Structure 1
Amino acid sequence: MTIFPRPAVLLRLALLAAALCGAQPALSADSAAPATDAALRARSQAAACTSCHGPAGRAPAGSTIPPLAGRPQAELAAQMQAFKAGTRPATVMHQIAKGYSDDQIAAITAWFAAVR
């Protein structure tokens, strides 16, 4: 049995978790550019959506839950605002959407729109 030093184990677990969750680069104009705090916040908030909508917003084939990745930001934002206002029928999305500010919805939907 190989025994790894504790930091090495934690690093390996973090890398494995990122790979399994389909981690995407943070939203930025240039993928080589360092991520901003706002982009990292948007990515972190968008991560909450992946439990239902799939890793990085790519729903599994045959899922009844729609994918979010690559859809137009304006379309995603309008749907989230409709859920938040209660004008679009939903099972849980109306409750989830109410937990986000308009700025957070804009950031999350921009992040999903940028995922390719």
Structure 2
Amino acid sequence: MSPGGAQSIPPGAVACSGCHPPSAGGAIPPLAGMSSEAITASMLAFRTGARPATVMDRISKGFSDQEVRAIADWFALGKLP
């Protein structure tokens, strides 16, 4: 965390905004405000192949479990990159 208690953006989270929009309305859901548990579960399911994907299966393999949790926690706070 940065001074003052504000959580800084975790590495990798900025890349999410390349596909995930800031608000609902498209085929790809926004991440800001989604629960940390839902984001983490989706990332892990993409990684194992339990959830079909076009690119998220490859993207999710690039993050450790700790990185996935940090990104999920950050987006769950309603943050946008």
TM range (shorter): 0.7 to 0.9
Q: Which residue of 1 aligns with 2:19?
A: 52
Alignment partners' CA distance in 2, 1:102 and 1:34? 23
CA displacement at 1:40 relative to structure 2: 3.2
- TM-score for the superposition, normalised by structure 1: 0.60
Structure that is richer in helix per residue:
1
Q: Verify: 1:96 aligned to 2:59, yes or no.
A: yes
Percent identity, aligned pairs only, is 46
Alignment partner of 1:81 out of 44, 52, 59: 44
- TM-score for the superposition, normalised by structure 2: 0.83
CA displacement at 1:62 relative to structure 2: 2.8
Alignment partners' CA distance in 2, 1:70 and 1:62? 15
Which structure is larger by alpha-carbon Rg, 1 or 2? 1
CA displacement at 1:45 relative to structure 2: 1.7
Structure 2 alignment gaps of length 5 or more: none
Higher relative contact order (CA 8 A, sep 6+): 2
> CA 1:34/1:74 → structure 2, altered by over 3 Å: closer, same or farther?
closer
Q: Which residue of 1 aligns with 2:28?
A: 65
